Amino acid sequence: MASTGPRGPNILITGTPGTGKTTLASELAQRTGLNYIDVSQLATEQELFDGYDDELQCPILDDDRVVDELEEEMSKGGNIVDYHGCEFFPERWFDIVFVLRTDNSVLYERLQQRGYTGKKLESNIECEIFQTVLDEAKESYRPEIVHELQSNTSEQLEDNLEKVLAWIAMWQPTPVT
């Protein structure tokens, strides 16, 4: 059960880096007034890392510390969480999970524009090819709350915004038993 309060649902926006999570999540937060949580930014600000991966050129997230840091905020409800991983978040936190997917050619271009090269670029493209994040979401959360959204174009972004806004408009809190 998602642990939500009177502020609204807890929503996870996840997907491979470059699929448009931050664009979608921040726009949703702006349109709804829900609290936007960029886990990467939070981890950087709070130094929630457990080392550095030289091969992938990125810090290693300390999952347990992130969960501890977010527990109180998530229990209040009304959050949109943006992160490229999902399996370490407690299932009870989320009312719905949206996994963004992007065609490899589009994703490759986006990641190159971000300066991704070598193993980091290759690893993220492979992650999308093998639908790693989608599979993690399906294994970590109830199937009925996991939804896949295509995120290749600005038209799809608008369509995704409308879909999530419609879901939020129909959302009802789960009764506590």
> pLDDT class for 2, splitting at 50, 70, 90?
low
In a domain, 44, yes or no: yes
Tokens encoding 60: 């290693």
* Strands of 25-157, DSSP E: 35-38, 49-53, 58-61, 79-82, 96-101, 146-150
* 18 marked among binding-site residues: yes
- Total count of domains within the chain: 1
Tokens encoding 24: 């979608």
* 76 marked among binding-site residues: no
* 114 marked among binding-site residues: yes
In a domain, 115, yes or no: yes
Q: Is the pLDDT reported for residue 10 higher than 90?
A: yes
d(CA 107, CA 99): 15
The per-residue pLDDT for range 51-107, each reduced to its tens digit, is 999 988 889 999 999 999 999 999 999 999 999 999 999 999 999 999 999 999 999
* 120 marked among binding-site residues: no
* 4 marked among binding-site residues: no
Domain hosting residue 149, numbered range: 10-169
Structure letter (DSSP) for residue 144 = G
The per-residue pLDDT for range 97-119, each reduced to its tens digit, is 999 999 999 999 999 999 999 99
Q: Is the pLDDT reported for residue 5 higher than 50?
A: no
In a domain, 100, yes or no: yes
